[in-house]
Structure 1
Amino acid sequence: MSLPTAGTLTRAETATESRTTRRFRIPAPRRWLSPVLLLVLWQVTSGTGVMPEDKLAAPLTIARSAGELIANGQLLEAFQVSIGRVVAGLAVGAALGVLLALIAGLSRWGDALVDPPVQMFRALPFLGLIPLLILWFGIGEAPKIALVALGVAFPLYLNVHAAVRGVDPRLLDAAKVLGFTRWERLRHVVLPSAAPQALIGLRQGLAAAWLSLIIGEQVNADSGLGFLINNARDFLRTDVIVVGLLVYALLGLATDALVRLLERRVLRWRTTTGS
């Protein structure tokens, strides 16, 4: 019995090492070739005057400007303001989207009353609501947070609503036979079944949140990354504009990576089952 056991352990260890290797695999050198060539071409065209600085600054100029913005604290201050707006909008939008999805998904009456108006509002281009939000909330933080919240709420609502409605009825019947209360069925059956699609909705909502923030911060803002970009536009500082856009991109990638990490933690059972 010791030999099969040892073989089983070896296979399990090999599978674990294989998954670890796949997770932390460094991209092949050829994957870096085209980005590096593009940067070199960009630097050469800017340095020779083919691409004027007032149209697009050179990569080295952008790097120097990023260092200056970090050193004088402007980039950190703008970063903190923008992060605060996204966190506030994400909290409001996620709570609203999930609550409405649960009401519509768990009850026929809730679906009849909640889903039609949500679908009507979803059809509206929510970025076009900026003038109305300014009239309602003024030009302070509220319209920017509301815009981010709207961007987050709709993807979450659609995914959670579809996931709740798509729960296997046999699981619910089994839970009912076992004597689970309505709350226990929600906690132990509905929410775990809806978690994968809800996390997809969260990733989509975060992408929409950063898009909403970029638009919102360029309308009547006096701080944040959008304000930094607007000021740079007025002075034809394309280097600062690119720095701001790169920070937006990095923040989007970072938040998406955090959700994927959360997905691996929350859905560990699915990874284990599939191995």
Structure 2
Amino acid sequence: MSQASNESIPERTAHASAQGLQRHVIRNRVSFLEQKIPAYASVLGIVGLLLLWEIICRLGLVPPLFLPAPTLILSDGWEMLSSGELHENILASLSRIIVGYGIGAVSGILIGLILGFSRWADAVLSPVVYSIYPIPKIALLPLIILWLGIGEAPKFTMIALGVFFPVVINTFSGVKNVDPIWIKAAVTFGSSHLNVIRKVILPGALPMIFAGLKLAAGTSLLLLVSAEMIAAQQGIGSMILHYGNLMITTKLMVGVLLLSLLGLLFNRGLQWLERKLLPWK
């Protein structure tokens, strides 16, 4: 009996060592996944790209007319900012995108929630949404101008349409993908329908809603520029078209970089709001 017991000691020791090694590996992997990234890491890629761009231009590998150096673009951008030209165009574009994005996002979330909660609304409205969604919204701009005239209304409408469809589809999908077990558990514990919607369905759908909002941010910038190039006297899109016709590439690139910056700020703002509303994520 003692012999059998003595023979099992090395086996138990080896097994315990293997378990300890496995726990150590898992702990290291978790700590690797949870480690904090320094704040400066977010700008390393952008700084590296700008440096490479500057080097290529300084070496004369690309003619300045086709691709001016970032330093030349910044110099012209500062000149445009000092003269007030850049300020006016930025304010015009920001006012359009804020209004259009706000209208499209709010209406998209509301309609998406209605489609998700009501089978009748789903049956009646979903075919309409999915049939209009694939249409390129810029193709509707001449018709919208014909209906609403030349002014700010067509631009607001274009941006709102581009935002509405990604948001409504993602909101609808988010509501439908909420785990039914959560809803049944809430009902079992006596929650009212309003509380189930407010405390279970909406929090469960928020990740998909934010995915739609982020997707719509890029679409809104695209439609903003398209609308301003066709029917606007001021705005970043109009400025890009103007300097493109004059072949002043540095000032054209100022507008392009501004759009890139706006897209980055949009994305960061939505990420910040998502962290605030979804702390568990």
Q: Tell me what 2:51 maps to.
A: 36
* TM alignment of 1:109-148, pairs within 5 A: 109-148=120-159
Residue 265 of structure 1 and its aligned partner are, at CA, apart by 1.5
Structure 1: which 4+ aligned runs deviate by more than 4 Å? Answer: 27-35
Which string of whole-angstrom CA distances, capped at 9 and with x for unpartnered residues, describes residues 28-73 of structure 1?
A: 9798556423321123327xxx6153x4434333222101011011
Which string of whole-angstrom CA distances, capped at 9 and with x for unpartnered residues, describes residues 199-253 of structure 1?
A: 1111001111111111111012011111211221232211111000100010001
Does the 8 Å contact 2:103/2:160 carry over to 1? Answer: yes
Residues 22 and 68 (structure 1), Cα distance of their counterparts in 2 relative to 1, 3 Å cut: same
Equivalent in 246, 251, 257 of residue 240 of structure 1: 251
Residue 185 of structure 1 and its aligned partner are, at CA, apart by 1.0
Residue 63 in structure 1 maps to residue 74 in structure 2:
yes
* TM alignment of 1:197-208, pairs within 5 A: 197-208=208-219
Contiguous gaps of at least 5 residues in structure 2: 1-29
Does the 8 Å contact 1:100/1:114 carry over to 2? Answer: no
Give the letter for the 1:131 counterpart: P
Equivalent in 222, 229, 234 of residue 233 of structure 2: 222
CA distance in 1, matches of 2:113, 2:44: 47
Of 142-151 and 233-242, deviating more is 233-242
Normalised to the residue count of structure 2, the TM-score between the two structures is 0.83
Q: Pairwise CA RMSD of aligned residues?
A: 2.4
Q: Tell me what 2:36 maps to.
A: 21
Equivalent in 148, 171, 191 of residue 160 of structure 1: 171
Q: Tell me what 1:151 maps to.
A: 162
Structure with max Cα Rg: 2
Does the 8 Å contact 1:82/1:224 carry over to 2? Answer: yes
Residues 234 and 203 (structure 1), Cα distance of their counterparts in 2 relative to 1, 3 Å cut: same
* TM alignment of 1:46-85, pairs within 5 A: 51-53=63-65, 55-85=66-96
CA distance in 1, matches of 2:149, 2:229: 15
Secondary structure class of the residue paired with 2:133: helix
CA distance in 2, matches of 1:138, 1:23: 50
Residues 32 and 84 (structure 1), Cα distance of their counterparts in 2 relative to 1, 3 Å cut: closer
Q: Tell me what 2:23 maps to.
A: none
Q: Tell me what 1:257 maps to.
A: 268
Secondary structure class of the residue paired with 1:227: helix
Which string of whole-angstrom CA distances, capped at 9 and with x for unpartnered residues, describes residues 15-40 of structure 1?
A: 99x95732625369798556423321
Secondary structure class of the residue paired with 1:268: coil
CA distance in 1, matches of 2:43, 2:256: 27
Q: Tell me what 2:205 maps to.
A: 194
CA distance in 2, matches of 1:29, 1:227: 31
Residue 157 of structure 1 and its aligned partner are, at CA, apart by 1.0
Residues 69 and 33 (structure 1), Cα distance of their counterparts in 2 relative to 1, 3 Å cut: closer
- Percent of aligned pairs sharing the same letter: 33
Q: Tell me what 1:173 maps to.
A: 184
